[in-house]
Amino acid sequence: MLNFDSVAMRYADGTRALDGVSLQVPAGQFCVVLGSSGAGKSTLLRMANGLVKPTQGAVQVEGVQIAAASLARIRPRIGMIHQQFNLVLRSTVAANVLAGALPAMPTWRALLGLFSDAQRSKACALIESVGLQEQHLLRRVSELSGGQQQRVGIARAFMLDPPLVLADEPVASLDPQTSHDVLSLLRGQARERGTTVLCSLHQIELACEFADRIVALRQGAVVFDGAPEAFEPKVFDTIYGRAPASAPQPYGPGNEPEAMLPLHAGGMLELAQ
Ligand SMILES: Nc1ncnc2c1ncn2[C@@H]1O[C@H](COP(=O)(O)OP(=O)(O)OP(=O)(O)O)[C@@H](O)[C@H]1O
């Protein structure tokens, strides 16, 4: 579904954000990119929808290489969920969710806001499926809590039934309980549709609870790639330079990850110093 082929990113000021990252995310996988601030998570996710062009290597979505010429074809196949929600605060919940359909609409219809009945019905169904009630439909987004706003963001991301969703620290600005609820919702929506998700997070506990696979970055390089239960305190130390506050909860019986692709037994890569 998503392939990063030896990608590197060196920004104009010389910052090396990514350094030779190779990663293949198969269809249907919930893959969490974990790392401390500045590790390169956002850069990696932004490469996957063409917002950042790698200075080395290439990215393919569904086998199509991301390039200026292919972006119009690829973008409607990717749903985006943002840390700061990126909603139009003065607009209603319904209008924000409908905006998720814009990338696939002819420009003139998009400009006039000419959504079809099918699109309106779909938006209503999505709003309900993310746990918002009918009375929320015409409420301004600015009146909602952070957790409710991110539910709107999730509904918008699924409006075109994209096979791939990129979630860039979707719970970074939410409290722990709301973070858990929102990630659970995202995971449920993705599982229901077989959607592939690449999601960046800071919180190891959430990564271990919801990911099929964890890819940990440190200083732009992959230092771990494997199943949550293989994520040992040693790896945590490598990423964050300290021990976890509480031991991550591994998957238990009946809650095994569906798909995982450790690079080799145990999923450990050489640990960067
Ligand atoms: N446009 C830019 N120009 C220069 N340097 C940048 C740019 N964007 C990001 N960087 C740098 O690249 C490195 C990786 O940044 P990135 O935002 O990808 O990390 P991150 O893991 O997402 O961090 P955070 O968790 O704080 O969002 C950092 O050192 C950052 O300062």
pLDDT at 271 > cutoff 60: no
Q: For residue 23, what are its two tokens?
A: 């990663």
Beta bridge partners of residue 204, listed in sequence order: none
Mutate to test the pocket of ligand 1, among 41, 200, 222, 239 (most ligand atoms within 8 A of CB): 41
In this structure, the residue with its CA closest to atom 28 of ligand 1 is 38
pLDDT at residue 170 in the model: 94
50 φ, ψ (degrees, to nearest 5): 80, 10
**Which tens digit of pLDDT belongs to each residue from 187-232?**
999 999 999 999 999 888 999 999 999 999 999 999 999 999 988 7
Query: When comparing pLDDT for 106 and 70, which is higher?
Result: 70
Q: CA torsion angle for 252, 177, 144, 166 (degrees, to 10)?
A: -40
Atom of ligand 1 nearest to the CA of 43: 18
CB-based burial label for 232 (10 Å; 0-12, 13-18, 19+): middle
pLDDT at 258 > cutoff 70: no
Please tell me the distance from the alpha carbon of residue 201 to that of residue 145, in angstroms, as a whole number. Answer: 21
Q: What angle do CA 209, 75, 28 make, to 5 degrees?
A: 30
pTM of the model: 0.85
Task: Decide whether any atom of ligand 1 lies within 6 Å of the 39 Cβ.
Answer: yes
Question: Radius of gyration over alpha carbons of the chain, in Å?
Answer: 19
Average pLDDT over residues 3-24: 96
Q: For residue 52, what are its two tokens?
A: 């950042």
pLDDT at residue 1 in the model: 95
- Where is 65: in which H helix or E strand? strand 64-65
**Which tens digit of pLDDT belongs to each residue from 93-146?**
999 999 999 888 878 887 777 888 999 999 999 999 999 988 888 899 999 999
Q: Is 131:145 a contact under the CB 8 Å cutoff?
A: no
**Which tens digit of pLDDT belongs to each residue from 38-54?**
999 999 999 999 999 99
86 Rama class: left (phi>0) / alpha (psi -120 to 50) / beta: left
Options 3.40.50.720, 3.40.50.150, 3.40.50.300, 3.90.950.10; which CATH number does 2-267 get?
3.40.50.300
Please tell me the distance from the alpha carbon of residue 100 to that of residue 236, in angstroms, as a whole number. Answer: 36
Atom of ligand 1 nearest to the CA of 220: 14
pLDDT bucket at 177, cuts 50 / 70 / 90: very high
pLDDT bucket at 248, cuts 50 / 70 / 90: very low
**Spatial CB neighbours of 49, under 8 Å, sequence gap ≥ 6:** 66, 74, 75, 78, 80, 166
pLDDT at 184 > cutoff 70: yes
pLDDT at residue 111 in the model: 78
14-23, 37-46, 66-75 — which is least confidently predicted?
Answer: 66-75
Q: Where are the alpha helices (DSSP H) in 4-144?
A: 41-48, 71-74, 93-98, 107-112, 117-129
What is the CA(53)–ligand 1 centre distance, in A?
A: 14
pLDDT at 261 > cutoff 80: no
Q: Is 197:14 a contact under the CB 8 Å cutoff?
A: no
ipTM of the complex: 0.97
pLDDT at residue 115 in the model: 85
Task: Decide whether any atom of ligand 1 lies within 6 Å of the 43 Cβ.
Answer: yes
Task: Decide whether any atom of ligand 1 lies within 6 Å of the 203 Cβ.
Answer: no
pLDDT at residue 259 in the model: 34
